[in-house]
Structure 1
Amino acid sequence: MAEDLIIIKDKGKQEQYESLLPQIEALIHGERDLIANLANIAAALKEQFNWFWVGFYLVKDQELVLGPFQGPVACTRIKKGKGVCGTSWARAEVLIVPDVDAFEGHIACSSASKSEIVLPVLKGDEVIGVLDVDSEYLSHFDDVDALYLNKIVKLIHG
C-alpha cells in the first residue's frame, strides 16, 4: 500500500509538527513491527524537516546499535553514557545540544553535524532506544522540537 505525506513548508515549526503528528500516528497505527515503524517515522521526519540526519539507535546487548535512519552513513554502535545518544540513554532524558563541539565526549559520526537533539524511546520505564536528530546548523533545536518529537516517540510501542 502506498503512503503519501502532506508536507507543509510555508508554516512555522509548530504548525509543521501539528500537521505531521497525526500523519505519523496513522502511518504506524496497526503495524506491530518496530523496525517498520521506526523506518517510516525517520522517513517522515526527514521528508518534512530535511534535517541532516534523523534516525534511531536500539538497545542491544548493553549498546546502542544503529537502527532505521535517513541521511549519511552513521556510527554503528554507541556505549551507554558515551556521546549525546549514550548520555540520553543513560539518563533517560531528552538532550538538546546547540553546539556538538561543546558537548564533552561528543562522538563525531560526521563533521558536518553542528547541533543535535536526542530523545529516549521508552517501553514502560525501560529505554529501548533513542531518536537522534542532527542538523548542520548551530542551535537548530529547541523546546518546540523536544515537545513534538517526544509526542512522536511516545507513539512507538516497542
Structure 2
Amino acid sequence: MSPTPLSLPMAAAPPFGVLLVDDQQTVRDGLSRLIACTPESLHCVGTAATGAQALSAARALRPDIVILDVDLNGEDGLSLLPELLIRARVLVLTCHGDGPTRDRALRLGAGAFLEKHRPAAELLGALLRLGALGRPAGQDKTPPLQGSSSPLPMAPSSGAQGKRDA
C-alpha cells in the first residue's frame, strides 16, 4: 500500500493593513473595531490624529490603505495625499461630502471618497476594492529575496495571484 500524499494547507493571503487617520479618538476607535470584525481581509496597523503622526506612521507601518479624514482639527488632511499616496492607497472618509471637497480629493489621487454617515458595508467594500488594487507602483512591501538575480519580482507559475500583488 502506497502512502497517501501529504497535503499542506494553503496559506491564506495576509490581510490588508489599514492606517486610520482622524482627529477624533471615538472615530478611530469605532473604525478600528469595525475593521477587527473582518479579520480575514483587513487589519488595523495603527492610528494617527495629526498630519505629522499620519506621515510618520505611514513611513513606519507601511499600510496598504490609509483612511484619511479631511479635517484634522483644523489641519487640511487632503494636503497629506501626495505623500501618503507614495506609500499606500487612500480612502477619504469625511463629514465634508460637498462637491468641491470630493472633487479635490479625487483630483489629488484618493482612491475612494465616502461620507462618514454611509453604511459600514460601503466602507468595508471600498476598503476591499482598494486593497485588491495592490500597492502603488514600486511600493511592494516584500523585500527582494537574498540571492535573487533579478531586481524585478518573478511572475507566478500559475494564473493565481495573491490579493496584495501590485
Q: TM-score with structure 1 length normalisation?
A: 0.29
Q: TM-score with structure 2 length normalisation?
A: 0.28
Structure showing greater radius of gyration is 2
Higher strand share: 1
